[in-house]
């Protein structure tokens, strides 16, 4: 069987992207060893399953700071304990306040959120693994549909195995990743695949091959057709060693959600917090190693002993023994004095630890302990302030990972007919994701503060110009404050409902006023009637 030309082209493209990224991997290899050891090595030939991967770490400051940052980001933008997003019509207005539309949007959002909480989807665990990869500045989340169980399924993709490129708009729309699979696994996932020497390979089911999954925009599709060969994105599974295609298909939406912590315009891959303090991380580990060696020499110093004329290479390691010529006349065992001075080392190491923690935003993601007592309101304000400070950095992850993830989840669940049909009002309309994470709400809360400052500034003017408040639309302010605080749309009344309530109240007040105005006349009539009755009686 000859090599498939298309497979050969895709494999060459994979190798090209791999070579183009090699300049990043020098720094990433150190970050993997010193900050994120429990992930795939960028030089896989040097790594075996079960290997100890912390042998170069002598100080765990950077490792723990990365864990703290990953956990905080997970809580801020993908908290599994609450539904942090909503669905709404793209064109906001009265339609978004329609009771039927609100009910449908809430129902769809609840279904997607429940899917994420389902243990079978592995959403929470995958997101945790992704956010730990923020040390590199790049995270990759894969979202597929599990046809066997009928649910979404998520997987964190190690950066070392995946290579991607951007579209003209800066969005990642092309990715190829390579994974090791045994013959048994290949046959399970691709039962119809064939290649040269397949029968022989089946006799060694544990034999491993490199399998590439390439996803890229399809340029030769026929618009209007919905078969797998005409979907917007092409999907090819390749057996690298054999140069054949195992399976070919397509996607309606890009199945890999790639997020970058920060990036420059001329670069494709992101840069993480570890890159800013990588020299300090390296130096701190070397300093700790030196301190350990000094302590070892102080506790168990090298010895000097006499020898019958035999002199060996001088040793300075802890507990080592050096022999000297006994003709010197001193036959006592002596210790080799350690003259190294360690004054100020703790101060230097603490300074580097503090700098590393700041690079990982530890002063933002972890509340500093306070000696004085604080009210719940003060603590809430402090948390919101910290979230607002991190919001610009979390915004990219929100737009590149979380929103596309929810959009694809909607597509897959809708295709599986697991979502309720939309109301007639939404026919022909598009919908969008309204992201409501803690970080987003904290950023929007600034508007509430601005409302308060505005009212406070114009209040003194009302003392000599009472009509100044005619410029304040309180309905808009109250409704916008509710949205900024993440209040459910079902709890916010539409302008039509508010107008109806006010009309009813006005009619009721008018009726009460009319009744109050008619009361004196009614009493007069009764008095006259009573007087006439008395006169007739007399």
Q: What is the 3-state secondary structure (H, E, C) of 156-209?
A: ECCHHHEEEEECCCCCEEEEEEEEEEEHHHHHHHCCCCCCCCHHHHHCCCCCEE
Q: Provide DSSP, 437-468.
A: -HHHHHHHHHHHHHHHHHHHHHGGGGGT-GGG
Quote the number of domains for the chain: 3
Residue 220: CB atoms within 10 A of its CB come to: 7
Asked if the structure places residue 41 within a domain, the reply is no
Residue 164 has pLDDT above 90, yes or no: yes
Pairwise CA distance, residues 221 & 232, whole Å: 7
Whether the CB-CB separation of 43 and 367 falls below 8 Å is answered with no
> What pLDDT does residue 530 have?
64
List, for residues 286-299, the tens digit of each pLDDT value: 988 888 887 777 77
Q: Tell me which of 459, 474, 492 is where a domain ends.
A: 492
Would residue 519 count as lying in a domain? yes
pLDDT of 450: 74
* pLDDT value, residue 326: 66
Q: What ranges in 220-327 are assigned the alpha helix state H?
A: 273-276, 278-299
pLDDT at 228: 72
Identify the three-state secondary structure at position 85: strand
My answer on whether 485 and 506 are in the same domain is no
Q: Work out the burial of residue 537: count CB atoms within 10 Å of its CB; fewer than 13 is exposed, 13-18 middle, 19 or more buried.
A: exposed
Q: How many other CB atoms are there within 10 angstroms of residue 352's CB atom?
A: 21
The mean pLDDT value for 135-147 works out to 96
Q: Provide the pLDDT for residue 375.
A: 63
Block residue for tokens 């923020």: 134
Domain ranges, residue 503: 498-538
456 falls within a domain: yes
Q: How confident is the model at residue 90 (pLDDT cuts 50, 70, 90)?
A: confident
In this structure, are residues 265 and 38 in contact, taking their beta carbons and an 8 Å threshold?
A: no
473 and 449 belong to one structural domain? yes
Joined tokens for residue 135: 């040390």
Mean pLDDT computed over every residue of the chain: 82
Distance of alpha carbon 165 from alpha carbon 143, whole angstroms: 18
Q: Which positions ≥6 away from 32 have C-beta within 8 Å?
A: 39, 41, 42, 136, 160
The reply to whether 49 falls in a domain is: no
In 35-122, alpha helices (H): 61-78, 99-117
Please give the pLDDT value at position 310. 47
Residue 472 belongs to some domain of the structure:
yes
Look at residue 159 and tell me if it is in a domain. Answer: no
Confidence at 531, pLDDT banded by 50, 70, 90: low
Residue 506 has pLDDT above 90, yes or no: no
* pLDDT of the residue at 145: 96
User: Is 476 part of any domain?
Assistant: yes
Looking at the fold, whether 485 and 503 belong to one and the same domain comes out as no
Highest mean pLDDT among 117-121, 331-335, 511-515: 117-121
* pLDDT score at 182: 95
Token pair, residue 198, equals: 């397949």
pLDDT of residue 384: 65
Mean pLDDT, residues 249-277 taken together: 93
Token duo for residue 507: 């009619």
Q: Which of 135-149, 429-443, 453-467, 521-535 has the lowest mean pLDDT?
A: 521-535
pLDDT surpassing 80 at residue 482:
no
62 located within any domain: no
Determine whether 116 is exposed, middle or buried from the number of CB atoms within 10 Å of its CB (0-12, 13-18, 19+): buried
- 406-448 pLDDT, tens digit each: 999 999 999 999 999 999 888 888 888 888 766 666 666 666 7
């Amino acid at each position: 069987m000859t090599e498939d030309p298309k497979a050969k082209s895709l494999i060459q493209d994979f190798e090209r992207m791999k070579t183009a990224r090699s300049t990043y991997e020098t720094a990433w290899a150190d970050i993997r060893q010193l900050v994120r050891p429990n992930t795939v090595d960028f030089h896989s030939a040097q790594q075996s399953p079960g290997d100890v991967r912390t042998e170069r770490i002598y100080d765990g400051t950077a490792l723990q700071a990365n864990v703290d940052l990953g956990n905080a980001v997970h809580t801020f933008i993908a908290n599994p304990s609450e539904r942090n997003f909503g669905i709404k019509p793209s064109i906001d207005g009265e339609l978004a306040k329609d009771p039927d539309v609100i009910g449908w949007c809430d129902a769809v959002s609840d279904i997607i959120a429940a899917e994420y909480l389902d243990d079978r989807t592995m959403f929470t665990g995958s997101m945790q693994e992704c956010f730990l990869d923020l040390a590199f500045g790049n995270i990759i989340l894969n979202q597929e549909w599990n046809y066997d169980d009928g649910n979404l399924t998520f997987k964190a993709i190690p950066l070392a195995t995946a290579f991607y490129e951007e579209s003209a708009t800066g969005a990642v729309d092309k990715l190829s990743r390579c994974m090791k699979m045994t013959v048994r696994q290949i046959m399970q996932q691709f039962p119809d695949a064939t290649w040269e020497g397949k029968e022989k390979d089946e006799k060694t089911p544990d034999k491993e091959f490199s399998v590439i999954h390439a996803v890229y925009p399809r340029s030769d599709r026929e618009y209007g057709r919905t078969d797998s060969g005409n979907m917007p994105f092409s999907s090819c599974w390749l057996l690298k060693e054999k140069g054949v295609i195992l399976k070919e298909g397509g996607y309606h939406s890009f199945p890999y959600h790639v997020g970058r912590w920060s990036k420059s315009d001329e670069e494709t891959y992101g840069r993480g917090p570890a890159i800013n303090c990588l020299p300090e991380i390296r130096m701190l580990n070397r300093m700790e190693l030196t301190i350990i060696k000094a302590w070892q020499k102080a506790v168990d110093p090298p010895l000097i002993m006499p020898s019958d004329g035999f002199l060996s290479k001088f040793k300075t390691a802890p507990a080592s023994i050096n022999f000297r010529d006994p003709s010197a006349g001193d036959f006592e065992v002596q210790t080799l004095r350690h003259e190294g001075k360690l004054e100020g080392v703790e101060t230097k190491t603490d300074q580097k630890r503090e700098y590393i923690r700041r690079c990982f935003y530890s002063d933002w993601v972890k509340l500093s302990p306070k000696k004085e007592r604080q009210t719940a309101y003060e603590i809430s304000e402090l948390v919101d302030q910290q979230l607002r400070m991190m919001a610009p950095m979390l915004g990219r992850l929100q737009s590149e990972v979380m929103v596309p993830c929810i959009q694809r989840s909607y597509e897959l669940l809708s295709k599986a007919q697991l979502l309720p049909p939309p109301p007639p009002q939404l026919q022909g309309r598009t919908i969008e994701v309204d992201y409501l994470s803690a970080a987003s709400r904290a950023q929007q809360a600034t508007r509430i503060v601005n409302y308060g400052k505005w009212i406070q500034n114009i209040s003194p003017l009302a003392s000599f110009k009472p009509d100044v408040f005619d410029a304040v639309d309180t309905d808009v302010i109250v409704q916008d404050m509710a949205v900024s605080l993440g209040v459910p749309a079902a709890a916010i009344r539409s302008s039509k409902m508010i107008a109806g309530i006010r009309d009813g109240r006005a009619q009721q007040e008018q009726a009460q006023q009319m009744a109050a105005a008619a009361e004196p006349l009614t009493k007069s009539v009764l008095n006259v009637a009573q007087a006439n009755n008395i006169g007739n009686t007399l």
